[in-house]
Structure 1
């Protein structure tokens, strides 16, 4: 499993889980600390963290950690209902990343990991910016309703 965050200025460091499953406790310990560092280094103290509705994201302890460690956080109760397509990673960035992977070079787990790392570095900043801008526009339009 991999974890990645995006913002209008680019992509976060990639977190790769080579073994095991990721439950909320591992997510809190190994992933979440990456996000505030990336956000603070990129924007200073004025930025918002948002995540999708994955079980480990909406777990009470994950939500509590986020509320304590991010300058602003869109919690699970304020994320537009039934709107997975409003997440820039889901509707744009994962596809862009998959296009950047040289699938012919993938022969093993190690080469897959190397290709994913290489692909993350090649994701277009313009694509990321447009995706994040679209997300901001969508959120301002839904006003708590479903995406149309």
Structure 2
């Protein structure tokens, strides 16, 4: 299972380095989607997912203001991933992988993973910049973000609903 988390906002997904529109003037730029308005404090939510060849886990929606830290990761997210993986694989052997952020590489987290997952890629063996080894970072989360209908989002519940719909499209 590949795991990752992402903050989704009502501003949507925009990459100023890659999403370039060549135009002669601002009107042409606007017609071709080159002008992006951004809210200063948009509706936002942090979501964690696990992806496997058997499917994607349910969404783990963080509470408002809650951020990923060692305690949240150890107490809530790891058991969530374990339950999701067991559901997707029917309690067969399956592997677990996470990226290298500090709460993932914590000694207590590494110990929990070694104890609870039959196959686990530890921080010492993980290849951090490989698109093949983390499709959530390099593909799935961006695809979900691109499929969210941000015009329908007014509240956090709207954003949650749109993220769930966009995930089903993938």
Counterpart for residue 21 of structure 1: 67
- The higher radius of gyration belongs to 2
- Structure 2 runs not aligned, ≥5 long: 1-45
Counterpart for residue 87 of structure 1: 134
- Structure 1 runs not aligned, ≥5 long: 124-148
1:69 to 107, 116, 140: 116
Alignment of 1:30 onto 2:76: yes
TM-score when normalising by structure 2: 0.66
Deviation, 1:88, is 0.8
Give the total of aligned pairs: 122
- Please give the alpha-carbon distance, in whole angstroms, between the structure 2 residues aligned to 1:93 and 1:74: 20
1:40 to 76, 86, 89: 86
Alignment of 1:4 onto 2:49: yes
**Secondary structure at the counterpart of residue 75 of structure 1:** coil
**Secondary structure at the counterpart of residue 42 of structure 1:** helix
- Please give the alpha-carbon distance, in whole angstroms, between the structure 1 residues aligned to 2:67 and 2:88: 30
Bigger helix share: 1
- Please give the alpha-carbon distance, in whole angstroms, between the structure 2 residues aligned to 1:97 and 1:114: 12
**Secondary structure at the counterpart of residue 5 of structure 1:** strand
TM-score when normalising by structure 1: 0.75
- Please give the alpha-carbon distance, in whole angstroms, between the structure 2 residues aligned to 1:32 and 1:121: 23
Runs (4+) off by over 4 Å: none
